[in-house]
Structure 1
Amino acid sequence: METKPYDVDTWRFLLKAFSGRVAKPEDVDSDAAVFALGDTENGRVIDMELPQPVIWWNDDEEIGAVVVQAEAHETDDGEVLEVLGLALPDGETAVAFLDDVDLVDDTDPVWRGLIDEVVGEDAYDDEDEDIDDEDNEVFDEDDDDQVS
């Protein structure tokens, strides 16, 4: 799935979910889905509002992400795999198990901090750019002299 880099303020506008049915290989090939599972049975969509912010626990590391695809599949031995397609803030995608994520709200300070670590300050609007010193002068009201 092709995704765009996002931050804590833009993810809702930039990320599209793959939902409504189980993905096929053609969906992955056309960048509509993150994954398509083969060799499984009884695939179904997990009832979850998408896209959904999560904290992904990958090798004991916390990673901020957004779920854009959620499916459950059964293996040959009857084990149910709940699999998620994740959009990462740098525009990459990943696949994770539902058991390896914490569902959070986009106001969660840990999630916001994890996203900010990846995208950095430069990802935000021009509002946060440095102000030119000439535009940042302060004058003393009493004598109209510039104050340093």
Structure 2
Amino acid sequence: MSDNDGDLGFDGGGYDVDDWMRLRPFVGAAATLDDVQRRAAIFALGDTHGGRPIEMELPQPVIWWDDDGEVAAVAVQAEAHEAEDGEVMEVLGLILPDGGGAVALLEDVDLVDDSDPIWRRLVTEAIGDETGKEDEAD
């Protein structure tokens, strides 16, 4: 049984550097498809075995290193899953500053404090784009 009875605490409108703590984590169990549909979890993996929560403080600010570079996010879900080949994947469910969700491997993120200047800048830039401010470098 999980400790998650509602949504992740965001309305799709995202967060800023001062209100990210209102995000509610998904903890206590591996997520199911029902959890994702209820917006209590970001992801549910069905093609792995032995899914279990990773013991870590959530929500947790992170800098995610995706294909486009650094992305600020807040991890709200952390699970370890075993693939068919026996490899254990540590997977995070992330909420982006604009309210979107993403899934990343733990090895592809840096855990940071909310006072980290790079994380703060990335969050501010991400929500600045959402308010209609355009990059003047175009």
1:49 and 2:57 matched = yes
1:36 and 2:44 matched = yes
Structure with bigger helix share is: 1
- Aligned counterparts of 2:20 and 2:85: Cα–Cα separation in 1: 38
TM-score (ref. length: structure 1): 0.78
TM-superposed CA distance for 1:68, in Å, is 0.4
Give the aligned partner of residue 101 of structure 2.
93
- Aligned counterparts of 1:41 and 1:121: Cα–Cα separation in 2: 39
1:106 and 2:114 matched = yes
Amino acid at match of 1:94: A
Structure with larger Rg: 1
Overall identity of the aligned pairs, in %: 61
Unpaired runs of 5+ in structure 1? 124-148
The ranges of structure 1 where at least 4 consecutive aligned residues each deviate by more than 6 angstroms after the TM superposition are: none
CA contact (8 A) 2:98 2:130 kept: no
Give the aligned partner of residue 8 of structure 1.
17
TM-score (ref. length: structure 2): 0.83
- Aligned counterparts of 2:49 and 2:127: Cα–Cα separation in 1: 38
Q: 1:74 aligns with which of 73, 82, 100?
A: 82
Q: Would you say how many aligned residue pairs link Structure 1 and Structure 2? A: 122
Unpaired runs of 5+ in structure 2? 1-6, 132-138
Instruction: Give the 3 Å change call, closer, same or farther, for CA 21–120 of structure 1 in structure 2.
Output: same
